Every structure is written in structure tokens, then in C-alpha cells.
Chain A
């Protein structure tokens, strides 16, 4: 099954490479990986989406922990968490489809970030599932280009 793993790593040159190389060297699935700075300048947070049966995921977590540059590894899959992904997508814009496109943007609570005579660029933020659905529904209008950020995730706060 799909797992969402959050990894705090040393904000150092080569860390992303170490993590990504470990996945490929050990034949683990790596669906997406995203990395960015945190509240601590010396630490970055990686969000990794991977798939595998329990035995594999347990190895993934242990192998991540084994890397010297990883500080904390958390499998968020079964814990309360918020998961988001950003989609940027440019579509062909035609008179006939214009109306439907705008309706869909509303449905997905998306935003228009750029619009030209023959193209429109939009952003959608949501869970990776929502992003998948958005892509499927926009596809018939003609996707010119798209970019996905990969998932980022964080624990839900304490009540």
C-alpha cells in the first residue's frame, strides 16, 4: 500500500542524493519526494511517497534511519496528518471550452495564475488524490504542460 513518510534531514549538500540513491540501490519504489527548509535553518523536511508491503516499508524506514544525515523518520500513513500537493497546469483555451474550464477550476477551488488568448495556466492545491482527479477531468480540454510538486505533509496539531 501507499505510505507517506516524513523525514527530517540535515540541511546539507548531497543529502537528497543520499536518500534518493538509497531508494534506487535497494530497489524501493519512490513515487514522489519533496524537500524544503523548516523552522530550523540546519534542518530540511523531506516528504516521501512510496509503495510496498509491510515488510518492505519496515526496511525503507530502517534504511532511512540508518543514513547518518537523517535526524527523524516518521511514517505518517496511519497518524493524523495533512497532506497537500500543488499542481500547475497550462491548458488550451478555446471559446467553446472556456465556460466549462472555469467551472472546473471553481469545483477544485483552483486559481488562474496566467491567461492568454489561447492558453490558461491554473494552480490547484489538494491531496494527491484530488490532484489526480483534477488532471483526469481537465485532460479532455487539452493539457499543454503540467507540473506537480509531489506531496508535502505534516502532523495535525494537538487538540
Chain B
């Protein structure tokens, strides 16, 4: 490491800062404005640079890495188109509160505003989709800005931060300084929960007859699963989780209710609307969770813990807000809870009755391969221990329903933004971060094509990911809505005649590729893929084409009013 005070150029300062932030991977793509950085990078040995094939891929890889490890993902791209290509990925990270620092090259500061070659006002463009962003105008501010960027990205409610670095700043020299601590006048996130609020919450929990935990991704970010597990088990409180919260509580435990909301379990949604106490932790009452807000959990006293005060009372008015970190909240609750609590047996029996009334299952047969079966089988073969990445659509919801997530940081999915094309690059990024667990991707045939170029990155770096393509040759979720709500007008969702030969395509990238059309072939392909760790394995599962995700709450409907099966069985085949 360089001693403070030594004279360095902007590019050298850049890497020196990354070292001090313990960055091990950068996902990037070179270009004109970054030539100096890549010149310096040529001799950098302790930070690994992963060359992507599209800047959007870099952002999703960084997000996959961050979600799998809890450490910030780092992206490095050039000015203009390099920078604008990151917009979707930044927006995705913003919606899902993922720590990420995006470095963009910029035209020389003297040319900014002149419509220079490869100039884009990326700070202006990304202002509403970053937690904060910076344009560095002077090399003497570069190090402190980078330090602030990492601090902002990783503290409070995490999120993406962008640092725009003009070419002349990267060339200019100054004495390297690294302040001991970060001071941002207007930024003081509340970590510690208010003691009175916590005491009130603990009292409510002890005396509730029908309590329910509603757990979001905040519990995973805060690494608070252990505290949650203790409270839930000690107190007999069932736990339902959002898409991002899956894995916060073990999915195979009897108190796990699975996911709630639009494609949640029947019993989780019934429990929400019948509980007398709803304890929301690190969740934000998203419209996919609440359905019609007027009918959401109307019988419940609502406690809401979130680190971001803007989430409180945003969509649903709550009775007891507790702003602060989820780990602090749950640990403090654990300390405050009395030994005895109300009996929850009638409540748990009621939930069991709902489970028996409408269990999660699917019809299957040896010859017709269904996505649910594939996910179920992967769940069995990995014993719920894999890091599972999804793309967006039907397979994503089936993954949430049928993969038994047993530990935190196990599902990596685009929840808020719903970005098709997220899956493949995010899987690659996750696999750079996690090497002791299998990393698998479930992806549809629509989404895979949206960032297919990153197959190169996976193959070249011999990343041992399992790419499970769920091919129904439809944009399945859109098709499902067309069938249910749009007069069966299947407008531009049938991809059968335009899709490529996926196995040949994977092979062209140099990837091992297998095709499975029956349950037997699927079982075998999954076990082969899981056994191979010298590079990626691609498996195309040719699944039944018109399967639909149930149960389902139609958009804007009440969550206690779920569609449990297809209305018209004739459209089934």
C-alpha cells in the first residue's frame, strides 16, 4: 500500500482507494476516457478485473457479487455509451437496495458541456436512480470522494453510488491522502432503534394471539437471520417472507409460511389478513405484497421496522414504527421479550388448516416436463443449499414457491425493477463471490437472450455456474396475463419460431450444453451440472409451454382473494 502523502496520478489514486476499501473484483469494460486507468490496471495484481461484454452485464455481475457476499459490487466503465449502458443495472440495484459503486470515465473537464465525443451527463442521468452520485472535478478530491462513495453505498439502506471521473482528473497528480473517517454533514442513518418503541413492540409480541412476521430483504442485508430464528421459534411466531426476504428464515421449518403477496402461498396471505399482530421487518409494503391496500391486514396491529424512514407509512399506515437497523431491532426485541407468551396453538392450527386446504403442488408426469418439477428437483439435489439466481417472469415466481431456501443470501433476483436479462450476469458475479456453494441460475428463454453475450465471460473465466434455461418458447408471464386478462390475444409473446437453437448457441460460446425433455433426463442433467466445476454448464429444459403460476392475486385485488387455478381448463395444453 502507498504511504499517505506520496505523489500519485488520478488512476493510481483510484486503485489505491479500491485497495483500502478491500475490493477484490472489478467488473468493467475499457474505453477512451479510461485509457489511463487501464494503463495503470495493466500492472495491478491484487485486484482482479473481469472483462464483461456489455456494461449492463457489468452492473448485474456487481449486483450478483454484492448480494451473494454482502460486500459492495464495483463497476468500471467508460464515458458516454459505456456510462448510459449501466442505467438499467444501477436502477435495479437502487430498487433492491444493493451496495454498488459505479465508476464512469468522463470527457476532460474542459470539454464537459460541449457535446464532446462520447460525452453524456451521467451524473444528471443517474441522479434519481442512485443513492448519491459525484462528479470529481479536481484530482485532490478523488480519494475522499471514493471513500464517501463506498461509505454511502454500504451504510444505512444500501444502494448504488456513481462516481464520474473526467479524463484529465485521472491524469493529474497530487499527494495521496486517505482521511481516517468519513464525514458527510447531511447523512446520518439511524441504526439504533428507539428503546421505548422496542419495549412497546416486545409487549405487543408477547400478548398477541395471532402474530405473524413479515420479513423483507432488510433482514438479510442486516445479517439478522439468527435473531429472527430465535424469536420466531421461542415465541411460536410464523414467518412469511417477501421475494427478497426468502432464506432469512429456513424454508423447511414448520413455522415458515413461504412467500406472501401476488404469487405467495394461500396460507401466508390468509395469515396476513387474519393475524392480530403483523411484525414487518426490513420490508416496504410493496404493491406486489399488499395487493389492494384497503383490505391488507385490516385486523392487525402493525409494527414496522425499517432503516429507511421513508418506507414507514408510505404505502400502509402502521401503528408502531421503529426506525433502525433490523439486527438492532430483533436483538433488542430478543432482550425485551418476557419468558412467557400467549398460546399460539389455535393460530398455528388455523394456519395448518389453510395449508391443507390449498397446498402448493403441481400435476406432473414423467413425459411432460414442468418448471415446477425442475426447480423442485434442483432444490432436492442441492438440499436447499445453493445460491439461486433467477431472471424475471414465471420461473422466478416458481423458484420462490418451490425452491426451499434454507439460509440467507441464497436468492438473488431482480425484485423491485423486474429486469429481464439480470439473471445470467448476476449468476456470474455471485459465483466470483461465493465458491463454497453451488451457484445456479433459473432463466427463461426471453431473459436469457437479453444478456446472452455474458456467456463469453462465464466460459472464459471458467466460472462453475449452472445455467438452467427454462424454455417454454413464450414470454410466459406476459402470456399468462394475456390469457387471464387480455382476451387470449397472444400478442408478440410466442417465441417458438424465432428462438435460436439454445444448445448449439451455448456450444458456440464454448460451454458444455445438455438438453432435457423428460423428468428422467432432467434429473440426470441436473446432477451432471452440479457435479461439474471446471466451468459453466448449460442445461436447456424444454418444459410444457402454457403452464401458469398459481396461486395468484390479480393486480389490485385483495390478497385474501386468490385465484387458485386456471379458470378455463381448455386453454391448458
Q: Contact at A63–B310, with CB atoms within 8 Å? A: yes
Q: Contact at A62–B127, with CB atoms within 8 Å? A: no
C-alpha spacing A58/B309, complex, angstroms: 10
Q: Which residues of A contact B128 (CB under 8 A)?
A: 21-22, 25
C-alpha spacing A69/B185, complex, angstroms: 8
Q: Which residues of A contact B187 (CB under 8 A)?
A: 68
Q: Contact at B152–A18, with CB atoms within 8 Å? A: no
CB of B409 to closest CB in A, whole Å = 26
Q: Contact at A13–B135, with CB atoms within 8 Å? A: yes
Please provide the chain A residues from 34 to 78 with a CB less than 8 Å away from any CB of chain B in the complex. Answer: 55, 58-59, 62-63, 65-71
Q: Which residues of A contact B462 (CB under 8 A)?
A: none
Q: Does A9 contact B (CB under 8 A)?
A: yes
C-alpha spacing A55/B184, complex, angstroms: 29
Q: Contact at B309–A66, with CB atoms within 8 Å? A: yes
Q: Contact at A68–B152, with CB atoms within 8 Å? A: yes
Please provide the chain B residues from 303 to 335 with a CB less than 8 Å away from any CB of chain A in the complex. Answer: 308-310, 312-314, 317
Closest partner residue, chain A, to B312 (CB atom): A62
CB of B287 to closest CB in A, whole Å = 15
Q: Which residues of B contact A68 (CB under 8 A)?
A: 131-132, 152, 184, 186-187
Q: Contact at A9–B186, with CB atoms within 8 Å? A: yes
Q: Contact at A66–B308, with CB atoms within 8 Å? A: yes
CB of A112 to closest CB in B, whole Å = 40
C-alpha spacing A62/B284, complex, angstroms: 15
- Bitwise, A3-35 to B at CB < 8 A (1) or not (0) is 000000110011001100110010000000000
C-alpha spacing A58/B323, complex, angstroms: 15
Q: In the complex, how many residues of chain B place their beta carbon closer than 8 angstroms to a beta carbon of chain A?
A: 19
Q: Contact at A10–B186, with CB atoms within 8 Å? A: yes
Q: Contact at A14–B186, with CB atoms within 8 Å? A: no
Q: Which residues of B contact A14 (CB under 8 A)?
A: 123-124, 127, 135
Closest partner residue, chain B, to A62 (CB atom): B310
Q: Tell me the number of A-to-B contacts counted with CB atoms below 8 Å.
A: 41
Q: Which residues of B contact A25 (CB under 8 A)?
A: 128
Q: Which residues of A contact B314 (CB under 8 A)?
A: 59
Q: Which residues of A contact B313 (CB under 8 A)?
A: 55, 58-59
C-alpha spacing A18/B310, complex, angstroms: 17
Residue among B123, B128, B317 with most chain A CB within 10 A: B128
C-alpha spacing A90/B138, complex, angstroms: 45
Closest partner residue, chain B, to A65 (CB atom): B309
Q: Contact at A67–B186, with CB atoms within 8 Å? A: yes
C-alpha spacing A59/B311, complex, angstroms: 9
From A13, A55, A66, give the contact of B310 (CB < 8 A).
A66
Residue among A55, A62, A67, A69 with most chain B CB within 10 A: A62
Please provide the chain B residues from 122 to 170 with a CB less than 8 Å away from any CB of chain A in the complex. Answer: 123-124, 127-128, 131-132, 135, 152
C-alpha spacing A40/B170, complex, angstroms: 32
Closest partner residue, chain A, to B124 (CB atom): A17
Q: Which residues of B contact A13 (CB under 8 A)?
A: 135
Q: Which 4 A-B pairs have the closest CB atoms?
A: A68-B132, A62-B310, A71-B186, A25-B128
Tell me the B residues contacting A by CB distance below 8 Å.
123-124, 127-128, 131-132, 135, 152, 184-187, 308-310, 312-314, 317
22 A-B contacts (beta carbon < 8 Å)? A9-B186, A10-B185, A10-B186, A13-B135, A14-B123, A14-B127, A14-B135, A17-B127, A21-B127, A21-B128, A58-B313, A59-B314, A62-B312, A63-B310, A66-B309, A67-B186, A68-B131, A68-B132, A68-B184, A68-B186, A68-B187, A71-B186
Contacts beyond the supplied A9-B186, A21-B127, A66-B309: 14 A-B pairs with Cβ under 8 Å? A10-B185, A10-B186, A18-B127, A25-B128, A55-B313, A55-B317, A59-B310, A62-B309, A62-B310, A63-B310, A66-B310, A68-B132, A69-B132, A71-B185
